[in-house]
Amino acid sequence: MRHRPAYLIAAAGLVLAACELVPVERAEAQCADMLRPASGEARIGVNQDGAVYDIDMTLQATTMMSGDPSERYNRCVYNRSGQFPTRPYYSLAN
């Protein structure tokens, strides 16, 4: 039990390292990707073996959240970088 404070200090250091802030440009890119609506592709065709199809779809859970996506983007960028976005969400090419 004598070394318990040392373990607590080490654990606190690891937690703080995980919360390291990133540059605002990187946070903007990460948050824009996170808020991007569903995307994917589908291929349908016919060959000698019959019908062929392939569907690949990506759906972000954050897309289905209610509220203003611009506000979620601003909050996300601020939480990741400690700064407000340099460009508004609606100016990004989605």
Q: For residue 1, tell me if it sits in a domain.
A: no
Domain count within the chain: 1
Asked if residue 3 has pLDDT above 80, the reply is no
Q: For residue 15, tell me if it sits in a domain.
A: no
Residues 46-80: tens digit of each pLDDT = 888 888 777 777 666 555 566 788 898 999 999 99
Q: For residue 87, tell me if it sits in a domain.
A: yes
If you average pLDDT over residues 8-17, what whole number do you get?
55
Q: For residue 70, tell me if it sits in a domain.
A: yes
Q: For residue 11, tell me if it sits in a domain.
A: no
Percent of the chain's residues with pLDDT above 70: 64
Range of the domain at 64: 22-91
CA 74 to the chain's CA centroid: 13
Q: Are strands 50-58 and 39-47 parallel, antiparallel or unpaired?
A: antiparallel
Which of 68, 82, 70 has its CA nearest to residue 27? 82
Q: For residue 44, tell me if it sits in a domain.
A: yes
Mean pLDDT estimate for the chain? 77
Q: For residue 13, tell me if it sits in a domain.
A: no
Q: For residue 17, tell me if it sits in a domain.
A: no
